[in-house]
Amino acid sequence: MKYCKECGFPAPYGKFLEWTSDGTILGNDEMRTRLVYLDVDELSHLFNGISKWVERPIDKIICQAEKTVGRRFVETLLPGFLTKIPKGRFARPEPGAKLVGNYMFNYMGGLGMGRAVILQYQSGKYAKVKITNGHSIALIAGDGAGVFEYLERIRVHISWVKAGSEQYILELTKSGDEAEKETEIQPAKEYVKGNAELEKCPSCGVPLLITRNIYLNLEKGTLRHKITGVRVVALPVESFNAVMRALSREFGEELNDFVEGLERKYFRENFVPIKEDQGNKHEAIYSDFNWKGIGNPSGLVQTSTGLEVTVLNPFHPQAVAGRVAGIYEASTNTAVRSTANEISPGVLKVVMEPVSR
Whether the per-residue pLDDT at 252 is higher than 80: the answer is yes
pLDDT tens digits for range 117-142 = 999 988 888 999 999 999 999 999 99
Whether residues 64 and 159 fall in one domain: yes
pLDDT tens digits for range 286-315 = 999 999 999 999 889 988 888 999 999 999
Whether the per-residue pLDDT at 207 is higher than 70: the answer is yes
User: What is the reported pLDDT for 214?
Assistant: 94
**Pair 338, 350: CB distance under 8 Å:** yes
Whether the per-residue pLDDT at 150 is higher than 70: the answer is yes
User: What is the reported pLDDT for 37?
Assistant: 97
Whether the per-residue pLDDT at 277 is higher than 50: the answer is no
Alpha carbon 198 to its chain centroid, in Å, reads 21
In a domain, 203, yes or no: no
DSSP-assigned states of every residue in 229-260:
--EEEEEEHHHHHHHHHHHHHHH-THHHHHHH
Give the separation between CA 293 and CA 79, rounded to whole angstroms: 27
User: What is the reported pLDDT for 16?
Assistant: 86
User: What is the reported pLDDT for 81?
Assistant: 46
In a domain, 34, yes or no: no
Q: How confident is the model at residue 146 (pLDDT cuts 50, 70, 90)?
A: confident
User: Which has more confidence, 9 or 268?
Assistant: 268
Give the separation between CA 247 and CA 319, rounded to whole angstroms: 14
Give the separation between CA 295 and CA 20, rounded to whole angstroms: 10
Single out the residue in 176, 193, 225 at which a domain terminates.
Answer: 176
Q: What is the mean pLDDT of residues 319-328?
A: 97
Whether residues 172 and 63 fall in one domain: yes
Give the separation between CA 115 and CA 139, rounded to whole angstroms: 14
Least confident stretch, 9-18, 234-243, 329-338? 9-18
Instruction: State residue 21 phi and psi, 5-degree precision.
Output: -80, 0
Whether the per-residue pLDDT at 188 is higher than 70: the answer is no
Look up the domain containing 82 and give its range: 58-176
Q: What is the mean pLDDT of residues 80-85?
A: 54
Alpha-carbon Rg for the chain in angstroms: 21
Domain count along the chain: 2
Give the separation between CA 80 and CA 154, rounded to whole angstroms: 18
User: What is the reported pLDDT for 101?
Assistant: 72
DSSP-assigned states of every residue in 11-35:
HHHHHHEEE-TTS-EEESSTT--EE
Single out the residue in 147, 176, 205 at which a domain terminates.
Answer: 176
Give the separation between CA 294 and CA 314, rounded to whole angstroms: 6
Whether the per-residue pLDDT at 21 is higher than 50: the answer is yes
* Amino acid sitting at position 63: C
For residue 274, what is the DSSP state? Answer: -
In a domain, 51, yes or no: no
Single out the residue in 125, 145, 176 at which a domain terminates.
Answer: 176
Q: How confident is the model at residue 325 (pLDDT cuts 50, 70, 90)?
A: very high
Residue 315 sits in a domain whose CATH number is 3.30.1380.20
Average model confidence (pLDDT) for the chain? 87
In a domain, 293, yes or no: yes
* Amino acid sitting at position 345: P
**Pair 210, 294: CB distance under 8 Å:** no
Q: What is the mean pLDDT of residues 225-240?
A: 94
In a domain, 193, yes or no: no
Whether the per-residue pLDDT at 182 is higher than 90: the answer is no
Distances (CA, A) of 115 to 77, 118, 136, 342: 17, 11, 12, 38
In a domain, 316, yes or no: yes
User: Which has more confidence, 26 or 357?
Assistant: 26
Whole-prediction pTM: 0.91
Residue partners of 289: CB distance under 8 A and separation at least 6: 23, 295, 296, 297, 311
User: What is the reported pLDDT for 14?
Assistant: 82
SS3 content of the chain, % helix, strand, coil (to 5): 40, 25, 35
In a domain, 151, yes or no: yes
Residue partners of 252: CB distance under 8 A and separation at least 6: none
Q: What is the mean pLDDT of residues 29-51?
A: 94
Give percent above pLDDT 70 in the chain. Answer: 87
In a domain, 297, yes or no: yes
